[in-house]
Amino acid sequence: MSEPAALSWPALRRATPARIGLGRSGAALPTAAHLDLQLAHALARDAVHAVFDPAAIAAAVERSGLEPLVLHSAASDRAIYLRRPDLGRRLDAASRTTLAARPPSPIDIVFVIADGLSATAVRAHAAALLQATAARLGGALRIGPVALVTGGRVAIGDEIGGVLGADLAAVLIGERPGLSAADSLGVYLTWQPAPATVDAARHCLSNIRPQGLPILDAAERLAVLIGAARRHRMTGIALSNRLASEGSRLLDQAG
């Protein structure tokens, strides 16, 4: 039975970056598809092992009029970071001391930029997303220092936000690379961050990159989420349920 034109492989391939209908050459993939797969795998591996350069991000943060603060997780190197996810969720002793020594001041939101599993994504998109989001927030919020964390996981924002006493923590982090994207950035927003915060208490925006959720759209959604979180004093499932009960259009805007 012939396939309907609407379901042809070329039409489906145009609708998704997934590798579908690649064809075959004998018992193997065609040469072009095989080489493309190898390239994507190499890019994903390179992203996982890419070196994070906080100095370059710090310069961009300063140009935005914000203060960069360079920190390090308890994972002393990349190999340990990959083997011990728990160490990437907390600061090393020196960074904790640096953070605790800061004079206390009211902070509405602290932004954390961490390499995560793709320093490639952070290098490509984090500074632009921070700048675009800060511009949408205007001067209405007290923004704390921007923490630049080498070897950080999502939950490291809980410790940083907790020590600084911030109402909100927004963690911009490189997402796990896949075979269709090695430069995907994620943002995790948490109300009243503190150690032992559960993932259900966070909001996430993912696949931030030109071929996914564009920077300006992501900044707009993040600004909307920040406003909703401050108004309702919550994030995560609790905020989603609250907005759903109100029939709020913010769910459509914020994802």
Task: Pick 240 or 253 by higher pLDDT.
Answer: 240
Which of 21-25, 115-119, 249-253 is predicted with the least confidence, judged by mean pLDDT? Answer: 249-253
Q: Which amino acid is at 198?
A: V
Banded pLDDT at 137 (limits 50, 70, 90): very high
Q: Are the C-beta atoms of residues 156 and 88 closer than 8 Å to each other?
A: yes
pLDDT tier, 166 (very low <50, low <70, confident <90, very high otherwise): very high
- pTM value? 0.88
Estimate to the nearest angstrom the gap between the alpha carbon of 239 and the chain centroid.
19
pLDDT tens for 181-234 read 889 999 999 999 999 999 999 999 999 999 999 999 999 999 999 999 999 999
pLDDT score for 1:
46
Which residues fall within 8 angstroms of residue 152, CB to CB, at 6 or more apart?
71, 73, 88, 112, 114, 115, 116, 171, 173
Q: Which residue has the higher pLDDT, 3 or 25?
A: 25
**Token pair in block for residue 205:** 């925006």
